[in-house]
Amino acid sequence: MIKTSLSLLLVDDSRIARLSLKRQIQSLALDITLLEADSADSAEALLASNDTPDFALIDFNMPGRDGLELAERIKQSYPQVRMALVTANIQDALAQRAKEMGLAFLPKPTTAEQLGTFIQQD
């Protein structure tokens, strides 16, 4: 079956941050289905009950498990999902750790152009 639309999992404990990212993604005029979660636990519940998304944008600082812990779990169970760590915590060590895990690193605040580049890269 050929997939004509893309799906993206958006994980951020801040409703305002999710809304901002959602608006930027929608401005790209791509056919993207969005799944939203406010924690690592709710993200894993969404993954278990939906088709596997093509992409995931994951905040680092969240209550409970952080974004890298969630990314590690997603990577183990859904290795085909391309992920980006989206965070205001722009320490070099964190960016390096994300890169070592195969994640893109997008500093907050993001731009629609950055998100588009991440989504459309091969």
In whole angstroms, give the CA distance from residue 62 to residue 13.
Answer: 6
Q: What is the pTM of this model?
A: 0.94
Tokens representing 63 are 């209550």
3-state SS string for 14-30: CHHHHHHHHHHHHHCCC
Residues 63-88: tens digit of each pLDDT: 999 999 999 999 999 999 999 999 99
Query: DSSP code of 43?
Result: H
Residues 89-114: tens digit of each pLDDT: 888 999 999 999 999 999 999 999 99
In whole angstroms, give the CA distance from residue 43 to residue 30.
Answer: 22
Domains and CATH numbers, the chain: 6-120 (3.40.50.2300)
CB-based contacts of 91, cutoff 8 Å, min separation 6: none
